[in-house]
Amino acid sequence: MKKTIALLLSLALVLQIAACDKTNETTVSENGSETESETAETSETEAGNYVTPEYGVIHEPEFGGVYIKITIFDFDDQFDISYGDSVNVHFSNGVDFIDIPYFNGYYVSPGENLLVAYPGYDYIKLACNFGEDLFETSGLTEDDTAWIELNEEGKYADIQVARDIAYVDDRNLYPGDAVFANFRSCNVGNLKKNILYRSASPCDNQHNRAAYTDELCEEAGIKYILDLADNETKVQGYMASPEFNSDYFASLYENGNVGLLGLSANYNSPDFKAKLASGIIAMIEHDGPYLVHCTEGKDRTGLVCIIFEMLAGATYDEMLEDYMMTYFNYYGIARFTDPDRYRLIKENLFDDMIMMIMDVDSSYDFVNVDYTTYVEGYLMNCGMSAEQVEMLKARLIG
């Protein structure tokens, strides 16, 4: 039985339970096409574990990973493998991934592998959370195939239950436009008042938030946007859509006031750091106020805002409060509403970003420190000069 718990703004708790009969018959996917190898029969190992048929693979380069060509709907419908189970993923080139969790979200620590059925993905995906591109490191080509074996039922079920959160894209279920758009000013530390904003995307409307974010950008007088998620091709595609309704973003973009970084989720990679440095160097050539966004304004945006806040002398608690406001806006998660999930997110995401920037591990006291020297070193390691770091501080700090 699949369970999805959606906690919205501490106003509603929606429990959706979908129980699927397992079948080996050919199934038509949601887009009306038959999924590859669906007519093949599921086999079992000597230990009795389910083994799926073989499926083709596709490289997913934006976040780095391997799409296995069966839709989430078809996989969950056809095979007796549930969220929270342990699985083994085998590839035809001889590479195996043994005892990894199957989740419907990225509920593992950075650098750990998982099989994920993330809502909105075309297929199930093998990935390393905030880590290396497993398609490339596994030496795969799109001529290879993959099959999945159930390793142990329910091994990671407690993590699935604790981290299984989702939000909806219906504006009517949120108390205001700013909450829906996850739009706010980062007024922490010594940042100039209303110099730095963060939000969901004002141009990518896959979550129905772009027009709301765009209007809030105009109201705030945003002069430059640091777009962490998109490249020229994507933005041109958004703007060509008949549903595009972000005129203020378009005006900034057409006047050269949008920096497109196209960052992956692997924030510890040299490519991420080099792109981030080049984006910040371009940003400081423009006046603020500045907006930082990715798609949801959560992970990549969270990291970059932490960097800017560290530079401005913010404390651990100030940065944590700003970071976790996103989880309250989307999911209603706060210390007082859901302390267990709050702690898991803080420890597995926020704390890891802090330690990565500082280049320390959990044995170090990374809470009660002055972060300025650490983040200056991080930015210079990314490719900024000392002079450019000082210019960034001049732009941001009052």
Sheet holding 224-227, edge to edge: 184-185, 196-199, 290-293, 224-227, 258-260
- How confident is the model over 143-165, as pLDDT tens digits? 999 999 999 999 999 889 878 88
- How confident is the model over 358-388, as pLDDT tens digits? 999 999 999 999 999 999 999 999 999 999 9
Q: What does the alpha-carbon distance between residue 54 and residue 263 come to, in Å, rounded to a whole number?
A: 32
What CATH number is given for 174-396 in this structure? 3.90.190.10
- How confident is the model over 268-309, as pLDDT tens digits? 889 999 999 999 999 999 999 999 999 999 999 999 999 999
Q: What does the alpha-carbon distance between residue 381 and residue 171 come to, in Å, rounded to a whole number?
A: 41
Residues of the chain with CATH 3.90.190.10: 174-396
Q: How does 205-239 read in b/e, with b if 16+ C-beta sit within 10 Å?
A: bebebbbbbbbbbbebebebbbbbbbeeebbeebe
- The model carries a pTM of 0.76
Is residue 27 a contact partner of residue 11, using CB atoms and an 8 Å limit?
A: no
CATH superfamily of 2-163: Bacterial fluorinating enzyme like (2.40.30.90)
Give the Cα-Cα-Cα angle 198, 354, 298 (nearest 5 degrees): 30
The amino acid at residue 371 is Y
Query: What pLDDT score was predicted for residue 348?
Result: 85
**Which of 13-22, 40-49, 129-138, 388-397 has the weakest average pLDDT?**
13-22
Q: What does the alpha-carbon distance between residue 99 and residue 136 come to, in Å, rounded to a whole number?
A: 21
Q: How far is CA 169 from CA 6, 43, 229, 240, 308, in A?
A: 12, 39, 19, 22, 29
Cis peptide before 289 (omega within 30 of 0): yes
Q: What does the alpha-carbon distance between residue 283 and residue 378 come to, in Å, rounded to a whole number?
A: 18
| Of 198, 201, 227, 172, residue with least CA distance to 324 | 198
Residues of the chain with CATH 2.40.30.90: 2-163
